[in-house]
Amino acid sequence: MRPQDVVIPSQAAELFGVSPELMRKWIQRKGVRPLGKLGRYNAYDLQDLAEVERDMRAR
């Protein structure tokens, strides 16, 4: 995994064009587990969040 593949929710939200609050809700609904922490923020695999984004938009 490359460093650019690890993101915090606000970075993913910006990439996907949604609010950080909505991204966090999607993460919680889908039960995505963080890889760890980046400072005080949970860090996630960008590919996992991309799957969540596709899933949630397909509804």
- Provide the number of structural domains found in the chain: 1
Q: Residue 20 is part of a domain; what is its CATH number?
A: 1.10.10
Q: What pLDDT score does 1 carry?
A: 78
What does the pLDDT look like over 16-53, one tens digit per residue?
999 999 999 999 999 999 999 999 999 999 999 999 99
Please give the angle made by the CA atoms of 11, 25 and 49, to the nearest 5 degrees. Answer: 45
Q: What pLDDT score does 12 carry?
A: 97
Q: What pLDDT score does 2 carry?
A: 85
Q: What pLDDT score does 59 carry?
A: 80
Domain around 22: 3-58
Q: What pLDDT score does 45 carry?
A: 97
Please give the angle made by the CA atoms of 25, 34 and 42, to the nearest 5 degrees. Answer: 75
Query: How far apart are alpha carbons 38 and 58 in whole angstroms?
Result: 30
Distances (CA, A) of 44 to 14, 27, 31, 38, 39: 14, 10, 12, 9, 13
pTM: 0.88
Q: What pLDDT score does 4 carry?
A: 82
